[in-house]
Amino acid sequence: MIKTMSFTTSTFSTSSISSLLVFAILMLFAGGCNDGAIGQKANLSTKADSVSYSLGYNYGRILAQEGIDDLDLANYAAGVFDAMYDSVEAISATDRDSILMAFQQELQVKQEMARAAESEKNLKEGEDFLAENRNNEGVVETESGLQYRVIEEGTGDKPSATNTVEVHYRGTLLNGEEFDSSYRRNQTATFPLNRVIEGWTEGLQLMSVGSKYEFFIPAYLAYGDTPPQGSPIKAGSVLVFEVELIDIVR
């Protein structure tokens, strides 16, 4: 719920790609680096096999997250090999920089288009959900569009936006997938109310210490089109939080 939080560090860079693929690339060369070897079931008979597969799998997930689906592993392997063993480079440093800069620009456009399409779909789904949810028993909608339901009403003080609060919470998507939970970590969270998403800043000011509410937060009061990197939260997503206000710390 904190605006600046990031779940992973999957930002595309040539250095991170190289570090992840070294073992996998070497194993490709050891196996002849032919097309038939790519796509076969892993052979995990040694520790090196397991390390190679694990690095390759993690890198593959980064590729999928970044939308890179046309990488030529054989040529990538050739580039790694030439660099590691000081072989004659097939492409000059100047040309490589130009190629990668153009590729990153193309990738950014592709990602923005995919994010816009995803956001449009999720916004429509969220609007439909909120339109129906506001008619459910116990659900209240504020002027901003935040919806909430009182699970348990406390008797303590209510925080202001400048207060720091201690809470327990569970966050889910509309499909029920849990993306974050202090309960799961068995540790409360403490943060200033003016450092979190707008739906939380508004919603927790409605709560008294000891209360437990359920929030239904529209995308524009959550992360909008820029969810935390690596999070299951997608652009345009409505978020559902169960929040327990433990204390006003200061």
Hey, which bits of the chain come out as E strands? 139-141, 147-152, 164-172, 178-181, 189-192, 212-217, 239-248
* Active site positions, annotated: 169, 179-180, 197, 223, 241
Which tokens belong to 192?
């200033």
Among the residues of 134-233, which ranges form H helices? 182-185, 198-204
Cα torsion angle, 214, 220, 226, 232, sign: positive
Give yes or no for a contact between 160 and 215, defined as CB atoms under 8 angstroms apart. Answer: no
DSSP 16: H
* Total residue length of the chain: 250
CA distance 172 to 244: 15
Closest to 25 in 3D by CA, of 80, 65, 69 = 80
CA distance 159 to 201: 10
